[in-house]
């Protein structure tokens, strides 16, 4: 059965016979039937074109060729095709000629002399080789079948070529003609001596490259399309020498025209491919730089942070690679390959839908490290909260029930490290673990997070390795001794009914009061008065305006250091800060009653609290430490 390619061959035969690419549809169909009759024994697949519906089949092929831009048609009434203009005939003839050159290097490059039918000027774009051939070499959007008429300087003969051949076959064609030049007479020895004078310390390299050009045509092409510095200069110098030798000669032989044409094209090809190769190398080095940076601390990056990467000299990568290509690279690295379960880069959506990326090789180490640090922080905060609540005789649901405790932990994880929260998403984490080779220790550490039967994550208390009952016991151990003795605790509660709760007065103050009641020791009024005066003096250092109250100053400082926007999250953070302050002061309260703390001591305590990893997100450290110091003085003043 025939195909559309058979229709192209018949069209070509028609134009070659008639010398005219214009034809009526009726004449072409008639020619096709005769063509089939003549060659039906040699080409039996064409028989269906001469059958009853052959004309209709030929018409369908013509329409397909028109869609593929091989030809144009004219239409009459009823939009019926009446005539055909086979515009691709000339490009096909040029292509056929270059195919012949591949078999016979002595054939000249094609111009009007090689064709019985002159190429119509409307189908041709004239190109001055020394002015604009580089533009056509790099034009990726041009029609591959577009015919170019190349014109050379120094009375070198012109030539036709299509863009497809120019961009894809020219290195082979030009080097083939240069090889014929080197093989002619003693040109190889002559050229070697000329080039040795240029490359005085590289005699061996010059000799080897000339020998490669003579004997290894496939290998020598790589020295043009992917040249090193020496190879680039070698070919540009060789081309220049050939052009100079023949440029002053008026009556050039056909072969000499071919040498000059090849030399000109080889020179421009060398410059073009040098630029392309250089860009490829720069892109590859920039890609390597990006991939290397992605596996270095801090491991987690936003896309804008990737744009800010720079090389060892401080040059931003955006100077070497456009942002669009950086985006393409990241997208490529975020797409799993056919043999991969997980992509090289993994995307994580943190709080406020802020997308971050991390390399898969760093996903588990970063997760385990941050999770360990977060677990210790939450443990410390939870024990502090439990201690405060127990002191105030308050019991929360999460202190009694594991499911409520999980909800409590979930909220704390999201609040204190939304990155860890996002990284513990079951589907993504499972793919990361299952899709790459991991050390056995890391793999086992992460496997305990999975509830494989339910295909989900284990409870937060398991992931964080936090036992509610154990934390509660630790919190009770921090309570004053009097709270553990029922009789004394009852006496203290009677006194505390007339005193503020823990949220307004420190536990240490209640401790001192309880011990005073239990042992019937009277406080020394004068010593207490002196103590409060010194605390007041220290407090005044933090007040910025006359008559400003400590509480007002605390609110002012709070607005400066608290980075959270959501109201409940802001409140929770303040509670954590205040809980740590009270916990820190608990052990020093008894001695503080007798000896007020010095400014240095308060500063030391605030620095210790501010250094807690839970508060790393706080940027205004000065306001934060001032808040801590003033708040501790407020506790000590009560």
Q: How many residues does the chain have?
A: 638
| Share above pLDDT 90 across residues of the chain, in percent, rounded to a whole number | 45
Using only the alpha carbons of the chain, give its radius of gyration. 43
Helices (H), 460-524: 460-463, 468-477, 486-496, 507-519
Chain centroid offset of residue 357 CA: 9
Average pLDDT, the chain: 86
Calculate the alpha carbon distances from 610 to 607, 615, 621 in Å.
Answer: 5, 7, 8
Which residue from 396, 390, 351, 381 is spatially nearest to 574, judged by alpha carbons? 381
- The pLDDT value recorded for residue 504 is 45
What does the pLDDT average to over 106-123?
A: 84
User: What span, in angstroms and rounded, lies between the C-alpha atoms of 368 and 442?
Assistant: 8
Residue ranges of E strands in 212-343 = none
Which of 58-67, 495-504, 610-619 has the largest mean confidence?
Answer: 58-67
Residue 593 has pLDDT above 70, yes or no: no
Task: Record the tokens describing residue 353, joined without a space.
Answer: 């839908």
What kind and span of H or E run contains 457?
strand 456-457
**CA pair distance 296, 33, nearest whole angstrom:** 72
Q: What's the pLDDT score for residue 514?
A: 44
Q: Indicate the pLDDT class of residue 552, thresholds 50, 70 and 90.
A: confident
What's the rounded Cα separation, in Å, for the pair 394 and 507? 14
Give the helix/strand (H/E) hosting 100: helix 89-103
pLDDT in tens, 232-259: 999 999 999 999 999 888 889 999 999 9
Predicted confidence band of residue 499 (pLDDT cuts 50, 70, 90): low
Chain center to CA of 234: 38
Q: Stretch 545-567: mean pLDDT, rounded? A: 82
Nearest-angstrom CA–CA distance, 262 and 137: 15
- φ/ψ of residue 125, rounded to 5: -115, 125
pTM of the model: 0.57
Residues 6 or more apart whose Cβ sits within 8 Å of residue 407:
398
Q: Say how far apart CA 625 and CA 605 lie, in whole Å.
A: 10
Distance from chain centroid for Cα 389? 48
Confidence of residue 498 (pLDDT cuts 50, 70, 90): low
The CA-atom distances, in angstroms, between 161 and each of 117, 136, 255 are 16, 11, 18
Interval 349-406: pLDDT, tens: 876 667 899 999 999 999 999 999 999 999 999 998 998 888 888 889 999 999 999 9
Structure tokens belonging to residue 76: 């009459």
Q: How far is CA 96 from CA 101, 161, 165, in A?
A: 9, 11, 11
Of 574 and 587, more confident:
574
Residues in CB range of 65: below 8 A, 6 or more apart? 4, 7, 8, 11, 71
**Distance set, CA 319 to CA 287, 344, 357 (Å):** 13, 24, 22
The predicted pLDDT at position 518 comes to 43
**Cβ burial 65-102 (10 Å sphere, 16+ → b, else e):** beeeebbeeeeeeeeebebbbbbbbbbbbbbebbeebe
Residue 170 has pLDDT above 70, yes or no: yes
Give the span between the Cα atoms of 443 and 113, in whole angstroms.
74
Q: Show the tokens assigned to 235.
A: 């070919």
Do 432 and 342 touch, CB atoms closer than 8 A? yes
pLDDT tens across 4-58, in order? Answer: 888 988 999 999 888 888 999 999 989 998 898 888 888 888 888 888 788 888 8
Hunting for tokens 């050390």 — which residue is that?
A: 439
Strand 124-128 versus strand 147-151 pairing type: parallel
User: CA 280, CA 443: separation in Å to the nearest integer?
Assistant: 38
> Alpha helix locations (H) across 507-598?
507-519, 525-540, 550-561, 567-586, 589-594
Best CA proximity match to 273, nearest among 166, 195, 142: 166
């Amino acid at each position: 059965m025939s195909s559309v390619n058979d229709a192209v061959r018949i069209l070509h035969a028609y134009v070659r016979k008639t010398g005219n690419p214009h034809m009526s549809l009726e004449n072409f169909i008639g020619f096709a039937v005769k063509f089939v009759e003549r060659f039906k024994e040699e080409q039996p697949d064409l028989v269906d074109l001469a059958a009853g519906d052959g004309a209709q089949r030929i018409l369908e092929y013509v329409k397909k060729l028109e869609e593929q831009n091989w030809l144009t048609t004219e239409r009459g009434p009823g939009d019926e095709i009446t005539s055909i203009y086979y515009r691709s005939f000339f490009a096909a003839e040029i292509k056929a000629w270059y195919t012949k050159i591949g078999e016979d290097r002595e054939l000249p490059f094609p111009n009007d002399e090689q064709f019985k039918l002159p190429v119509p000027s409307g189908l041709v774009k004239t190109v001055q080789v020394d002015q604009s051939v580089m533009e056509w070499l790099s034009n990726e959007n041009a029609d591959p079948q577009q015919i170019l008429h190349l014109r050379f300087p120094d009375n070198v003969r012109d030539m036709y070529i299509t863009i497809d051949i120019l961009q894809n076959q020219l290195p082979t064609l030009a080097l083939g003609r240069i090889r014929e030049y080197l093989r002619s007479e003693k040109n190889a020895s002559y050229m070697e001596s000329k080039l040795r004078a240029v490359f005085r310390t590289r005699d061996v390299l010059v000799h080897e490259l000339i020998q490669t050009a003579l004997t290894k045509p496939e290998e020598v092409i790589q020295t043009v399309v992917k040249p090193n510095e020496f190879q680039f200069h070698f070919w540009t110098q060789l081309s220049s020498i050939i052009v100079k030798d023949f440029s002053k000669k008026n009556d050039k032989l056909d072969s000499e025209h071919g040498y000059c044409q090849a030399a000109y094209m080889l020179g421009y090809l060398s410059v073009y491919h040098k630029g392309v190769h250089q860009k490829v190398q720069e892109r590859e080095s920039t890609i390597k730089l990006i991939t290397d940076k992605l596996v270095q601390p801090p491991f987690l990056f936003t896309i804008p942070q990737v744009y800010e990467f720079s090389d060892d000299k401080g040059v931003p990568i955006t100077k070497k690679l456009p942002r669009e290509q950086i985006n393409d690279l990241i997208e490529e690295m975020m797409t799993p390959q056919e043999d991969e379960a997980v992509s090289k880069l993994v995307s994580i959506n943190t709080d406020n839908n802020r997308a971050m990326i991390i390399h898969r090789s760093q996903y588990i180490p970063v997760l385990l490290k941050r999770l360990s640090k977060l677990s210790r922080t939450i443990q410390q905060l939870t024990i502090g909260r439990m201690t405060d609540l127990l002191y105030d005789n308050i019991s929360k649901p999460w202190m009694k029930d594991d499911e409520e405790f999980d909800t409590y932990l979930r909220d704390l994880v999201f609040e204190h490290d939304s990155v860890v929260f996002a990284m513990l998403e079951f589907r993504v984490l499972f793919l990361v673990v299952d899709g790459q080779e991991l050390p056995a220790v890391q793999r086992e550490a992460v496997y305990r997070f999975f509830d494989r039967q339910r295909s989900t994550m284990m409870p937060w208390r398991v992931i964080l390795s936090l036992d509610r009952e154990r934390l509660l016991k630790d919190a009770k151990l921090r309570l004053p001794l009097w709270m553990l003795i029922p009789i004394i605790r009852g006496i203290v509660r009677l006194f505390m009914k007339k005193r503020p709760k823990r949220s307004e007065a420190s536990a240490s103050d209640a401790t001192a009061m309880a011990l005073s009641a239990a042992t019937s020791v009277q406080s020394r009024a004068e010593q207490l008065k002196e103590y409060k005066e010194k605390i007041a003096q220290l407090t005044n250092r933090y007040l910025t305006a006359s008559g400003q109250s400590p509480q007002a100053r605390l609110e002012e400082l709070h607005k400066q250091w608290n980075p959270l926007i959501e109201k409940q999250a802001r409140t929770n953070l303040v509670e954590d800060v205040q809980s740590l302050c009270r916990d820190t002061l608990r052990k020093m309260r008894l001695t503080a009653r007798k000896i007020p703390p010095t400014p240095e001591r308060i500063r030391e305590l605030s620095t210790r609290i501010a250094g807690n990893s839970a508060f790393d997100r706080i940027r205004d450290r000065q306001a934060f430490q001032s808040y801590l110091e003033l708040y501790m003085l407020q506790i000590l003043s009560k």
